[in-house]
Structure 1
Amino acid sequence: MIHRIDTGSRLSQALIHNNIMYTAGQIGASGKSVSEQTTAILASIDRLLAEAGSNKTKILQATIWLADIKDFEEMNAVWDKWVDPDNAPARATGEVRLSDPSLKVEIIVTAAV
């Protein structure tokens, strides 16, 4: 069985299958700073995890896309305050062109439920 969360006509923000939650790419408000966008994204991930009956200690993997890799340290400053250091997920970070030029960060996670 597949349980979809916040489903629209194009995508679901998250879905659960076999006790694993997969999120769509989460973004913050366009035009905001890297720190502000990262903070908003992590709040969105917290909300989706809670709705699925999970939490950030159960994140298995995170993929982080930055519009400019020069923002790596600024994003990490927010991430490091948020992530549980005893339960850090596997993670990859790369530079990509995001769908809107004013977006600076996009984060995708997979978590146990």
Structure 2
Amino acid sequence: MSIERIQPGKRMSMAVSHNGVVYTAGQVAKANAGKSVTEQTTEILGLIDGLLAEAGTDKSKLLSATIFLSDMSTFQEMNEVWDSWVSPDNAPARATVEAKLAAPKYTVEIMVIAAK
């Protein structure tokens, strides 16, 4: 069975597809780093849409999502964006945890797993 690496780099690939399943790396805001949780979440979900499309799938086929917040007090703010993005009737299994992220400018990181 083949493994497809999407946007591969020296350290990691942005996504990997194998056996009909797509795994994304944790995505952080690039253009909106340091901005609000709403802006970062919106950008991240757009990045995920792009990776899923490149892998031949979409958010309606999400299996699971893991969301990392630098401050759990922003949970509701992130959820407002998530709720407007997630495919109706196709919500994945999901975990949200508070974690210290790679740099203080990042307040949200999201990774997903989707079927093809």
Q: Which TM-score band (shorter chain)?
A: over 0.9
Q: How many residues align?
A: 113
1:49 aligns with 2:67: no
- Aligned partner of 2:92 in structure 1 is 89
Equivalent residue in structure 2 for 1:111, among 88, 108, 114: 114
1:107 aligned counterpart, secondary structure: strand
Root-mean-square deviation (Å): 0.6
Runs of 4 or more, structure 1, over 6 Å off, are: none
Higher helix share: 1
1:8 aligns with 2:12: no
Q: Once the 2 structures are TM-superposed, how far is the Cα of residue 85 of structure 1 from its aligned partner?
A: 2.4
Q: Once the 2 structures are TM-superposed, how far is the Cα of residue 95 of structure 1 from its aligned partner?
A: 0.1
Q: Once the 2 structures are TM-superposed, how far is the Cα of residue 84 of structure 1 from its aligned partner?
A: 1.2
1:30 aligns with 2:26: no
Normalised to the residue count of structure 1, the TM-score between the two structures is: 0.98
- Residue type of the alignment partner of 1:84: S
- Residue type of the alignment partner of 1:56: K
Identity percentage of aligned residues: 59
- Residue type of the alignment partner of 1:62: A
